[in-house]
Structure 1
Amino acid sequence: MILMYHKVFPSSPTMWWVFVNDFYRQMAEIAHKEVVYLDDYDPANPNQVVITFDGIYKNVLEYALPIMRKFDYPFELFVTSDYIGLPNEFDSVEPNSAFASAEELKELVQNKGRLQWHTRSHPNMKDITDRERIAHELSIPEDVKALDPDGFKWFAYPHGEFNDVLVAEVRKNFVGAVSCIQGNDTDPYILNRLTVVSKTSLRGAKISCIVASYNYGAFLIEAVESVLRQTILPDEILISDDCSDDDTQLIAETYVRKYPHLVRYNRNPKNLGIVDHFNKAISLTTGDYIFFLGADNRLVSNYLEASADVLDSDANIGVAYTDYALFGPRAKKLYETFPASRQGGVIGETYYQISFPVFGNRNDLQAELQAGNFIQGSSMFRRKAYEAVGGYKASGTAEDYHLFQRMVNQGWDAKKVTNTNLEYRQHSPGQANNVLALTRRVMFYSRALSELQQSKNSFEQSAIYRKAFALYKSYSYVKSNRKKPKKIASKIWRKVKSVFK
């Protein structure tokens, strides 16, 4: 697979401008492919990827290069020499965007870029048969050649089109060439490229995140926001509510309105309990990879990317598990109950790290899992593995432990994700915890009220207004009465609940 990009930028005025966040996601999606230069590319190898840019625009240096450095990928740069260091004023269809200067091209070369040729002036050469004109467009000025002594072996057809005369001349001057319209996947002089746009997905597997809530409206905002802040987003987020009687529904429906193509909401008409609730929630999703996030917990921002990366690495891995960091007023107390081998240290007197083992073989993994659980319930797992063992089942042990143990016993592997964390909240009725949660909820409802000013749904506006007003009063009350946190917290929630009776 050969990828073709033009511009990478924070905004996308046309299809040729790929959002920076989407470019990062796409680079993450090929992390387990073999990314190579065109010289090393084998079209018959489905695991190989070549990254190419046409232009070359300054924004490739500014926005794409830092991401390429992070992944340490090689890449190809097809240069049009007449526009080096100039704006693209010739392109009346596209917004203005400057081309990279000679010095900037050198910087790209120093960071694993390789310069290749894209003609002098970028004409559409499909109908040009004059060999003298073709020779001029194919000739590379010496000062441009000097920018990359190892480059300029490959050619890219401007506009992706060509004719037999042009191809014959290209064969005389280059070791290969790429197109994006007329080519094929076998002839090295007309190799096709995939035109990548922001919505292009390069991972075959879809990812579903299920945020499960039962009366966790107080923390739901933090949970959902931690998913929305991921370095790559899931393909879908389902907020699944097991018949809560708090404000879970109001919060969830606000997120659905704000992100209609990403977030959905399910409310069970009666409380199903963990097993039936989780199985139902999964049945409402379509992802190949699935993970649950308890609505009272949070994710470190690379959690999804790192976990999916592990599942992508090997089709036999059924579950990718992580360490977790305890937080909240009860975190220290719970941390001290773990054996020293699992205590990973304290971060800023706030997070208490619990570390789990890495296994070199399945026998050790299976034996350790038999002795006790170390795979936390928000671990990402493969739908195929879930279906193979019949999903969640009632048992005498924790539901997630039972599920993951059955996966491993059936032959699926479990692998640790070593560079991310679940943030696992330890509840407390203490004042500080409630003030923090109330602060976030007041801010959430204030924004929701602003967004609903033009809404015709007066009932919904009224419900959100009443909730925001009650929370605001509660928040003010807590801040002005700090001496008896447990009694105050209890009084607050009775007060808020009474608003909806």
Structure 2
Amino acid sequence: MILAYREITIKSPGGYDCVTPDGFFRHISALRAYRVVHLDEYDPSDTRCVSIVLLDPTEDTVQTAASILAMYGMSWTLARPAVNASVLNNLLGIQPSKFVLAAHDNFRTGKNEWLISASEDGKLSIVYSNRSSGRNCPLPVRLMRETDSLFKATVAAIITNYNYGHFLREAVASVDAQIIGPDEFIIVDDASTDMSYSVLEEIELSGKAVIRNSRNLGIVENFRACVAQTTSDYLFFLGADNRLRSDFILECRLALDANPDVDVAYTDVLLFGVLAGEQARKVGASLLGHAPTNNWDVYEWRFPDPCPETLATFRTSNFVHGSSMYRRSAYDRVGGYRSDGQPEDHNLFYRIWKSGGHLAHIAKPLLEYRQHSVAQANNRSALQVENQGLREQIAAVQRKFAQVEQSHRAQEHEILRLNAAYAEQNMELQRVNAAFAEQNIELRRVNAAFAEQSMELRRVNAAYAEQNTELRRVSGAFVSVQPGLAD
């Protein structure tokens, strides 16, 4: 889109095309979510491409616009009679590439010739002629007004109060002081019993929306009811004892506008109050300075980026504070706040992340946490997270013990089985040994019988030898007798 401005004045805008510096700043702040280019680089097919044109402005208007645009390093185009070229150059020191000098309704840039025209119904347009192609192309121009908004989505700010009437005015004032205010702003009291009633009456008389619960709903039920009272695309809660830095809404909504896949934008925190030092030591916050009026130190509590290592511990270690800004669509997707033993904000943001939502860290202390009592909500939440972590550690130890016990029982069963097998094998061994002994006895009996038979055989052999000797003797005698018988 092409945005056109005619006059930026500190006076109350008197015409359709007049904008205050504050209004111009709001417009330009919103453009940080876009790609702002010089008119010659404008791409009408890119929905995130924007060109800013100052149409025949006064020198005061150019000065104001240039100083604000320079804050964000944004390019812009100036359509102004050439007669004032040297004056503007000397006055502003603007580089020629950042603007063009031209007649009121026709001017040139490096690549194109441009013609500013208005239709019968008053709509402004720019027609450019490409000098190389000779093609004319009309482009719609939005002539900006004070009340125009360039933000893509709406924001709801919700302050919740329970017996913090003595802090409530500061919380409300911090929302009122935002550079870019919320589109919806409600203050909800959850049946306080302190002096909150009179403070709420005062706030209500100023025109703000105040809701008083007839009974105390508790955090989760009250938060769900608060969300139901709003319709904005983005929303955030602010405790009545805390405050916002003036650019909290601007920075958070820009983080969501510029990143459609981001569902939660969280910031760093400034700790203040009588117990700030104690909390700072617990969380490792760094000292920023001393507030002499209240005589307390202030600290910056830096939160980690949502890197894989940090997200791996998100279930038990919360690094997204309860006042973070989030998309209503993500809230609806996971079913909103729940009561399940965890702090309501940690539980919500963890479920949003687990459902596929991304987180964005804004490394600035935009939320101011007042530390005044150990009973306050954020300290209770920290203790709840710590207790939840301890409970999960105990459960993990118990699961490990059950696994060890089960393994021990299995090992005992295996030992009993092995012992039974050993006894059975031992009995078999004894049976084999008995059979072996029996066989050994039988073998000795056989050997004894064999020895006896061997002795009998030797005796028989001896008798045989003796008979054989006798036979040879008889035979010899017979031979000696035989010759005598012959005579």
User: With structure 2 as the length reference, what TM-score do the two structures score?
Assistant: 0.68
Structure 2 counterpart SS, 1:3? strand
| Per-residue Cα deviation, 1:322-361 (whole angstroms, up to 9, x for no partner) | 11121111111122222xxx4233423621222111134x
| Per-residue Cα deviation, 1:349-387 (whole angstroms, up to 9, x for no partner) | 621222111134xx4343121231111111111111111
Q: Which residue matches 1:245?
A: 193
Moved more, 294-303 or 239-248: 239-248
| Correspondence 1:155 to 2:114 | yes
Q: Which runs of 5+ in 2 are unaligned?
A: 291-295, 375-487
Q: Which residue matches 2:299?
A: 352
Q: Which residue matches 1:92?
A: none
Offset at 1:271? Answer: 1.1
Q: Which residue matches 2:354?
A: 409
Note closer, same or farther for the CA distance 1:207–1:117 as it changes in structure 2 (3 Å cut): same
For 1:227 and 1:299, the matched residues in 2 are separated by: 7
For 2:216 and 2:145, the matched residues in 1 are separated by: 43
Q: Which residue matches 2:178?
A: 230
For 1:226 and 1:160, the matched residues in 2 are separated by: 44
Aligned counterparts, 1:235-384, within 5 A? 235-258=183-206, 260=207, 263-338=208-283, 342-348=284-290, 350-360=297-307, 363-384=308-329
For 1:112 and 1:327, the matched residues in 2 are separated by: 47
Offset at 1:19? Answer: 2.2
CA contact (8 A) 1:154 1:174 kept: no
For 1:211 and 1:7, the matched residues in 2 are separated by: 37
Question: Which letter does structure 2 place at the counterpart of 1:110?
Answer: Q
Q: How many residues align?
A: 364
For 1:392 and 1:270, the matched residues in 2 are separated by: 19
Q: Which residue matches 1:208?
A: 156
Structure 2 counterpart SS, 1:197? coil
Q: Which residue matches 2:455?
A: none
For 2:171 and 2:323, the matched residues in 1 are separated by: 12
Note closer, same or farther for the CA distance 1:195–1:345 as it changes in structure 2 (3 Å cut): same
For 1:232 and 1:104, the matched residues in 2 are separated by: 32
For 1:103 and 1:291, the matched residues in 2 are separated by: 44
For 1:111 and 1:383, the matched residues in 2 are separated by: 45
For 2:201 and 2:90, the matched residues in 1 are separated by: 48
Note closer, same or farther for the CA distance 1:192–1:118 as it changes in structure 2 (3 Å cut): farther
Question: Which letter does structure 1 place at the counterpart of 2:306?
Answer: F
Q: Which residue matches 2:78?
A: 77
Offset at 1:298? Answer: 0.6
Structure 2 counterpart SS, 1:193? strand
For 1:67 and 1:42, the matched residues in 2 are separated by: 24
Note closer, same or farther for the CA distance 1:158–1:328 as it changes in structure 2 (3 Å cut): same
CA contact (8 A) 1:328 1:428 kept: no
| Per-residue Cα deviation, 1:281-334 (whole angstroms, up to 9, x for no partner) | 111112111111111101111111111121122111111111112111111112
CA contact (8 A) 1:291 1:379 kept: yes
Structure 2 counterpart SS, 1:190? strand
Q: Which residue matches 1:52?
A: 53
For 2:189 and 2:347, the matched residues in 1 are separated by: 23
Q: Which runs of 5+ in 1 are unaligned?
A: 85-99, 123-137, 177-186, 430-501
Aligned counterparts, 1:13-24, within 5 A? 13-24=14-25
Structure 1 counterpart SS, 2:232? coil
Question: Which letter does structure 2 place at the counterpart of 1:212?
Answer: T
Q: Which residue matches 2:425?
A: none
Question: Which letter does structure 1 place at the counterpart of 2:298?
Answer: Y
CA contact (8 A) 1:51 1:74 kept: yes
Q: Which has the larger radius of gyration?
A: 2
Question: Which letter does structure 2 place at the counterpart of 1:60?
Answer: T
| Correspondence 1:395 to 2:340 | yes
Structure 2 counterpart SS, 1:42? coil
For 1:172 and 1:40, the matched residues in 2 are separated by: 12
| Correspondence 1:66 to 2:77 | no
Structure 2 counterpart SS, 1:336? helix
